[in-house]
Amino acid sequence: MNTIQITIWIILIIPNIFAYQCLTDQWPPKSKSNIPTYVIDLDTPPFQRWNQIVTLYKSQIRDVLDYTKHFIVNTWPVFTFLIDIMHTKLSLIADTLPEPYGQELKGISQASGISLGEIIFYNIFYEISSLCTSIVTQDQNGYIIHGRNLDFGLLLGWDKVNKSWILTNKLRPLVIAINYTKNGEIRFQTISFAGFIGAITGIKPGRFSITLNTRFDLNGGYIGIIEWVYNINRNQSFVTLAIRDMLTGAENYDEAVEYLSKIPLLAPCYYIIAGIKPEQGVIISRSRQTSVNIKTLNTNNQWYLIQTNYDNWRKQPAIDDRLTPAIQCIETKGKNNTNFESLFNLLSSQPMLNKLTIYTTLMKPSTGQLESYIQDCHDEDIPCIPW
């Protein structure tokens, strides 16, 4: 049975044998799941900012890139042209990006010894596809708590022996926390991959927090990237760089929501933002051009918001419905028991936790509390769902 056949079998058959969970015993997280923290000093020239991190992680970045290229060539040969584009066209993107991003990418390339085109390819992964679960809740005292699972690696190689996604396993060692500082003070923090300059999960302490989920649409990120590479349309932003721009410039929740609601994007997505005051929570469902839906806390007296990778106002696909079990779990626990412990337990329950899950992050914007942990779903009591 080849990789394509295995993938089809997984998609069609395996979800039927898994059960939903609402775990209560996963807190506190195991110490081995802690994520290391590094500093990006914004007072340092952009070309040099990533030197320390990239020097430490260059072999892991190289491994991810080599595996991905090998997988494309051997599994999807029709897409081999992407490797040629990586080496001939992607390096040109660096000079088209607003600063400081072009210089940061060039510096990462030099510090790692990896070609600029490959570094840019590594940095646009998330513009194309990822699976995630994000939650914003309000506890009984009005404090906002924000949590997320980041899932990545679907259809990019299945390890039959270890029953896991190969790329997912290779990305876990690259997960780091980054404190972006200026004048010696933390301006904002992200949970990211070493050498990844955008932001997927972030917090501006005392102001707001943000997570990003992929939104599937025919007018997707691959179209936006092609338009950018061939200079068809550059009046748009990469979705992860838009978050970093917002973390840099926005001073409060309202500014963050306004910015991410309106900016033209390369890819459709969901922006999930939490603030520091009661009812400050929102899911912004984005097309590439505009917001197609904005859902806020306290809509119909709802004290939580949950977003996966499908429009929350539509019926969820039976093959990947993480929304329904997440709602069941959070309502079972109740508003009076909303805290880091209950949210971590929810995000550690299947199918929110699955074979694609790389990390779980918990944030409390009002206090600046940020905790993040590597996650890995093991086949113990019951088999883990593949996604």
Catalytic residues: 132
Q: Say how far apart CA 8 and CA 14 lie, in whole Å.
A: 10
Q: Which one-letter amino acid corresponds to residue 161?
A: V
**Rg, C-alpha atoms of the chain:** 20
Sign of the C-alpha dihedral, residues 71, 59, 181, 91? negative
Residue 335's alpha-carbon distances to 141, 142, 371, 382, in angstroms, are 10, 10, 21, 29
**C-beta of residue 125 within 8 angstroms of C-beta of residue 68:** no
244's tokens: 């970093």
